[in-house]
Every structure is written in structure tokens, then in C-alpha cells.
A and B are shown apart, each in its own frame.
Chain A
Amino acid sequence: MSPGRIRLARRLAAKDLLIERRSRVLVNQVLPFSGLVMVVFAFALGTGGVLERAAPGLVWLAVLFSSLSTVQRSFGLETADGAMESLRVAGVDPIALFLGKAAALAIELLVLVTVLLGLAVVLYGTEPRAEGIVLLVTTAISATLGLAALGTIYGGLAAGGSGRETLLPLLVLPVAAPVLIGATRGVEAALGTDRTAVSEGWPWVGLLLVFAVAIGVGGALAFGTLIED
């Protein structure tokens, strides 16, 4: 990876994060939506231990739904006034563009995951155990990287076509199934849901990392073609 490419990617990510800090869309819109989804899940499943057992899956479902808004916002920045077209015309390195967008998205999603895991403790009564903390953090990071890479691929693809608002969930949700399953199992093991041992979670982290690397490398290489019309 050339230093120039890394520098460009960092600059692109910094731009996205600066815009997020200014516009506060994540804080004012996405996080409240995610919180509402968690509350609705709590109402739907009620008490009696079901909620506590389902908590890991519900957290990642809420992350997945909310990530769609985050991805749409991220690429909305580029399409609102034709910046994506300008980036293409200027011949900006598409691999740097992919890495920059994915990095900014990963940071935003990591904030989202952290808040939602905290909400799960408050709303669902889940209790993290000390021996599962490393697994919990590793699962959250690896799943977030995979989601960010996936969201960047399909965000870029959908940004080039009409009707992108409806296209994105259709594209992302089926392919995100391995992340949903792996992250849920990893968090279950970290929390000890249904007496699961911590060691049972690590193979799922492996799956999440393989997914993140495969999607990340594939996405970086294909992004230039994807964002062409």
C-alpha cells in the first residue's frame, strides 16, 4: 500500500468525520432510531428471560438496520451536489476512496455498536462478564469492519443508480447474514448467554475477520468499476 494512497484515504475519512461532527446526523438521527428499535424489541419480547437470551441478536439486528441509514448518509454526502462525479472525473484513486469511506463508516458504526451494547445492559438486563470482555471487543471490531466494508461496496454501487434509497437494503441485508450470525454468536459467548463458554466465541470471530478481509480486499479492488455508471 503506497503512502500516497494511505494519505488520500486518511484525508477522505477525515473529511467524512468532520462533516459528521458538524451535521450530527449520527447523534441526532441514527442513534435515536437505534435506541427506539431496541426499545420496541423490548416491548415485543417482554420479560421472563427471553429478552436477555435474545439480546445479542437484537443488538446486531439494530446495528444492521441503523447501518443502512449510516451508509446512505455517507454516500449522500458524495451524491447530493455531484461530488462523487467530480472525484471520478478528477481520477481520484478508487482504492483510496474505498478505504477512506470504509474507515469513516467503521468509526461511526463502532460508536453505534458501543452505544447499543450499553443500551442492551440497561434495557435487556445483560451483564458482561470479565473473562468475556476481550472477546466482546474483538467481536464488535471485526463485525464492524465487515459491515463497514460491505456498506461501502453497496453504498458506492447504489450511489450510481436511480432508486438507490430502496436498492441499498435489498443489496446489503442478504450479504450481511454472516456478520449477523457471527457477531451474535460471538457476543453470546462473551456474555455467557445460555451458559455458552467464552472459547466458543473465537471461531465466530475468525469467521468475522475472514469476511471483513475478503469483502475489504474485494471491495477495494472492485470499487473503481462499481462507481462507474
Chain B
Amino acid sequence: MHRRKLLQISTALALAVGLGGAAQAADPVKIGYVGGISGACGGLTHSAVKAMKIALEEINAAGGAAGRQVEVIWRDSKTKPDEGAKQARDLILTEKVDLLTGVCSSSVFMAINPISQQYGVPLISAVSGTHKATVDFGHPFVFQTQPHTLMEGKALAEYAAQQNWNNIVTMGLDYEWGRTTVKVFTEELAKLKPEVKISKQLWPRIGETNLTSYITAALAEEPDAIMGVLFGSGTNSLIKQGKSYGLLERTKLLTFLSTESYMSLGKDIPDGVHGWARGPFYALGSDKAKAFVEKYRNAHDGEYPNDWGMLGYDAMYIIAQGIDAAGGTDPEKFRQALGSMTFDTMRGPLKMRMLDNTFNAPSYLGVTKMSDAYPFPTMSDVAVISGDVTLPSEETVKALRAAAAK
């Protein structure tokens, strides 16, 4: 009787363990995606979602991550911080996701960041530019795979220092991104090339698309170059409206020019604009990038991926390979794995530093030129400024963290 009971129990136990083990092997890795599918980020995010879906398919076809299939649950933050926070919480608590990714605007990133910290669920930002989440308010489980504001400001300064520009007017959107980028740019440029004069700083309001009075005010300084920190419709309007003021004949223009601007402006982008980008598909020579672009175009009526698509695809692979190397989704092991590997991405080999979980993602700068290969102009002579150059120093990171902790 006694022995039989023991046998029963042990059989039950063995079964349970066996079943549990089997269940675990079959359990997919769950990733929660929170991004601005609708709202202000909608125009940027859709390409990232498409690209991440392609990456996901490939990863699963190749056996998944750490021997498990990868499943992504897609959620719309509506580009609202409270909505993003709500979705992130829901993903963690009801969907029990192992990791979070996505994010577009700084506010949503900042709103999700403490939730990731609170529940110890890693958050891998694919497409958000603020440095505050990883630097100022960094915690062990927040990661950034694209160049952030501090890095981009420095990359711009590096590029501008190489040009023959001694009198520059800046035109940054009047909010955090524009202001911070211009500030870092100005500071770094003063270190690299002290003789450069910033003769005027203009601050168009975000959403402002009639930039003509800014253009005339900038041109009145007769600058060697205008440095624009605008995006999307801002950049497009600046280029379009600048044309009739002879902006490019009278000065040079350096501005943020991501792929969707080329696509929407088409031949309205004149040759000779200095552009800066985060993931221009046409400038990435690797086979990996070419294969991806081909696949993306086939799946989406010949449409090209924008910068955010490239970043999203890379991020998905970084996550999967990180999980593979960590042998699972344990946050600390995942972090260690990310920090010890070199990732072969479409943007070349990328490494993450453990100080602030930031990847040495490059910035791309070049000059626009009508291309034969695409129905829109692209950048030629692209200078790749590596994140190794632009990542903020350890002192800077520590100082910003100390200030944030106060």
C-alpha cells in the first residue's frame, strides 16, 4: 500500500516534470511590441512593423531563438505615453511577455521605461531617439539599438567640421530633440573647430510647415550652411520652400533626411543637400541588407523600407540572437549576452557597451544626388560615423545620471 502510493506519487511527479519540460520546450518566447501605430508616429512606425514581421518570420523559419519559436504581440501606443504604459503593463501582466520592444516617441519610451524596470522585463528600443531612457534614467534592462540624440549631435559636428563651413545658422524644432541636438552640435563643433561661428539659432514650432519666414531670416545672415534639425513634413517643407528662395544656390543645407522624405519628395529634392540618416537602405552594401530590401519590396508592392524599417529589422535580430546566446530570456543573462557579442546587422557589426546598454549605432551623412537605381534621389558619398566616436563618455553618462537621480 505504502509502496504503491509512493510509486503513484513518483509517477505523477515524473509525468509532471516531463510534461512541464515538454511544455517549456514548446512554449514560444513572447515579445511585446508597443509602438505608435496610430497617432503622431504612425507615418514612421508602419515600416518598422512590416520589417519586424519579416525578421520574425525568418527567425522562426530558422528555428527560433534558444530553440523556441518567437511570438510577438503587437500593441498600439497611439503615440500617447499613458496608453503606451497601459499596453506595456497589459503585455507584462496578462500576456506574460519576456521582453518588450518597439517605441517611437520619447514620451512613450520614458513612460514605458520605469515599467520595464519595475517588473524586470527587458525593454529594447528599436526606434526612439531620446538619450534620457538609457543614459539619464538608465537601468540594467533598458537597451537602445539606434543612435540617440547625444550621439547624433556629435556625428553632425564631426561632419560639419570636415566641411568648409565657418558661419552656420541652426534651425531646430522647438522641443527637446531639436534643442538638445543643436546644443550638442554647437558644443562639439566648438571643440573640434573653434573658429566656426553660429550666427543665428532659429526655432520653428513643431508642426509648422510654412517655414518661409525662417528661411528668409536664416538667409539674411548669409551663412555658409544652414543646419536643420527637423523631420518628416518639416524637412520636406524646408527643402520645397527653400528652392524658390534659391537656398541651395546661396548656401548649403544639412538636415535630417530619412528615406521617407526621399520617397515623398521624389525629384523635388535637388542635388547637393547634405543629409543625415539613421538607416538608409540604399547606402548599406551588405548582402544581408540587399536581401532584406528585396524581400520587403516583394511583400509590399515594391515599396522601399524607411530608416525605421531597417532599425526595426536589426533590433528583432539582436533580440533573437541575444536570447539564443543567453539560452533563454533571463534578463540578466540576456544583458550579459548582449554585452559580450558582436552583432552582424544590416548596419554592419554592432556592439553594445555595458555602461548604458547602448549600441555603437552609426550615423550616415552624405550629399543628395538623383539616382538611376531608384525613383527618388539618394545620398551619395555616404560618410558612416561610427557610434564608437559619438557615444558619450563615461563621465558624461555618470554626470547626467547623477543629475537625474537628484
- A pairs with B: no
**Which A residues have a C-beta under 8 Å from some C-beta of B?**
none
